[in-house]
Structures are given as C-alpha cells and as structure tokens.
Amino acid sequence: MSRVLLPLLIAQLLAAGCSPYALRGRVVEGAPAGVEVVRADDPRLVSRPPLPEVRLALAENPQRLNRRDAGNAVSGPDGWFELRPDVAGAGVLRIDAGLEARRQGFAPAVGFFPLPGRGKRVLVTMPVGRDRSASPTDFLDETLRQARPYLD
C-alpha cells in the first residue's frame, strides 16, 4: 500500500512545485465588509459590481508574534486579483493567513483563513464608506514595537 501512496505523494509535491501557488479572488462592492474563501464557481464572484484598484496586503500568521508580510496586490479593472504569496510551502502546507483590503471611499475589509486550495477563491466585499478605524495589523505592529525592548 505504501509503495503506491509514496509515488503519488511525490508526484503531487512535484506538480505543486512546477506551477507557483497563487491566491486568486475578486473584490466586489457590497455590505457587510468581509473576506471569505469560496468555491471557484460561487455566483457572488460574478454577480456583484467589481471594485478596481483595491490595495490588498497578505500576512502569514497574522494573529501571532511571528507575523510576516507575505505579499501585495492591486485588483484589476474587473475586480479580479492574483497574489503570489512569499511563503514557503504555500499551496501544499496549511498556512494561516490574513488579508486586508483598502480603497479610498470604501470601508476596509479584513479576514483570516488558511491559504485555500487551487479550487477556491477569495471573495472580498467592501461597502461604500470611510476608513475610520486603524487596521488590526496596525494595532499588532504597534504592540510588537512596544514589546520589542522586552524581547531582546
């Protein structure tokens, strides 16, 4: 049995290494603000008005002290985006991520999730409004800055 499974596992890892992992999704206008992982054929991906020029920032381990920036992207004219995370094992290993979306004139959207598989997409929904709050990543960055003298 293991003689069959091992070659299949190796083939899958090699296939994942041949084509780089990309986090794909679409930013749409709507309420409430949110970020969620959906199936690639979810009708909300195409039925809502797109939002172009949304700045997207991805973080690895966003709710931990070892948080790390993992990439940035900007949504295209049709709201679609593709972000290639700078994370070892993306697409193969379970990696916790956080995505933050911002655009002037719209309330920000933030979500936390494990990086999804290739058959999934990220749906970012942003309502019209002002960006009134500091982002969770700004709060975490400030907390880490204050704690740094005690960590050395």
| Tens-digit pLDDT profile for residues 102-132 | 999 999 999 999 999 888 999 999 999 887 6
Contacts of 76 (CB under 8 A, 6+ apart): 52
Position 14 scores a pLDDT of 54
- The pLDDT assigned to 18 comes to 54
Whether residue 23 is predicted with pLDDT greater than 80 in this model: the reply is: yes
CA dist 104 and 120 (Å) reads 27
- Side by side, the strands of the sheet bearing 34-39 are 34-39, 120-126, 23-29, 80-83
C-alpha dist (Å) from residue 145 to 57, 78, 102, 138: 20, 38, 23, 10
Global pTM? 0.74
Could you tell me the residue ranges of all domains in the chain?
A: 18-141
CATH class entry, domain 18-141: mainly beta
Look at residue 8 in the predicted model and tell me its pLDDT.
55
Higher local confidence (pLDDT), 124 or 140: 124
Q: Which two tokens stand for residue 142?
A: 């400030």
Tokens of 7: 């070659």
% of the chain residues with pLDDT over 70:
76
